[in-house]
Amino acid sequence: MPAFDMPLKELEHYRPEPEEPADFDEFWLSTLKEAGQRDPVVSARPVATGLRLTETWDVTFRGFAGDPVRAWFSRPAKVPEPLPAIVEYAGYGRGRGLPHERLTWVNAGYAHLLMDNRGQGDQYGCGGDTPDPHATVPGGPGPAVRGLLAPQDSHYRRLITDAVRAVAAVRALPAVDASRTVAVGNSQGGGLALAVAGLVPDLAAVLVTAPFLCGIRRALDLTDAAPYGEVTAYLSVHRGAERAAYRTLSYLEGISFARRAQAPAHFGVGLRDTVCPPSGAYAAFNRYAELTGVERGDETVRKEPVRKEIHAYPYNGHEGGDAVQVRRQLDWLADLLGEPGVGPESA
């Protein structure tokens, strides 16, 4: 696929004006307040995986509306000290799969929570275990269009809430250094990680690759690939529903979450990505943490600039930098937090 979005020099300076509803913050504050009224963890059951160097637990935590959400929690075997925690979010159509599928972060010495995607898991990988009991609201069959006509009904209102509660859940598990909690994701998972960064003020870092739900309106004009293509297909049938759909999507916009984020951030993007066009990732990166500040009296004083960097892969699509990008994430995070198992003050 040839390059189809902006040239790199334009992407590096691309800062579209945010299109935010006036009650964006209130909407998410009230949503998360309701979800946070319960203790996060329901259960954590050890499971046998056949892996001698990794210990794994089957975790159930309370997500949106207190619904049970499944996750795998893994950590290096026989390492008792508190470890920094990676909370990872899976891509579109994936579930948590099997516990031995994602071992990179555990092998690097981190505790690792992999959240299941409610109502997904039937398109790729090895499936999921979390139903979405609220999925009967009006909208199309795919997750991207479930509840598309009203923000309070959106599938992503529920999924983003689950993602925030996953951070609370991992922090409640034993032998986790809650002060070093990191949100990680690729594609849909990257969009979720970015949303979490905008909604959880004390994350240690966020690692985002090829994020979905960034620059949504432009992406709908650029690509017919799913998941964005599911939205355009729905609107091609439901003519006249654009206004309601765009209003709902405005509460899910990754650029808006990025503006509110405070944690150090590491981005990756393929410049030939027709699934999640690179202009969305760059818009989120360029506006990242721009609302971060400290109120003093009647004015807001900027904090020190938030550490952030982005890596572009000019000849890659949605796979981006793949294993090269993961290696960069590992090096960057170790430099930021110190080696796992070693406090940052002594690293």
- Whole-angstrom distance, CA of residue 256 vs CA of residue 250: 9
Active site residue 100: no
Name the nearest CA neighbour of 60 among 160, 129, 158, 111.
Answer: 129
Encoded tokens for 322: 């793949």
Which residue in 5, 162, 177, 273 is the catalytic one? 273
Which residue in 112, 134, 155, 318 is the catalytic one? 318
Of all residues in the chain, what percent are helix, strand and coil, respectively (each to 5)?
35, 20, 45
Active site residue 122: no
- Whole-angstrom distance, CA of residue 271 vs CA of residue 308: 19
- Whole-angstrom distance, CA of residue 188 vs CA of residue 192: 6
Which residue in 74, 154, 187, 250 is the catalytic one? 187
Encoded tokens for 146: 């479930």
DSSP-derived pairing of the beta strands 308-313 and 265-270: parallel
Cβ partners under 8 Å of residue 126, min gap 6: 95, 97, 98, 101
Q: Is the dihedral of CA 290, 294, 299, 302 positive or negative?
A: negative
Active site residue 187: yes
Query: Which residues are known to be catalytic?
Result: 187, 273, 318
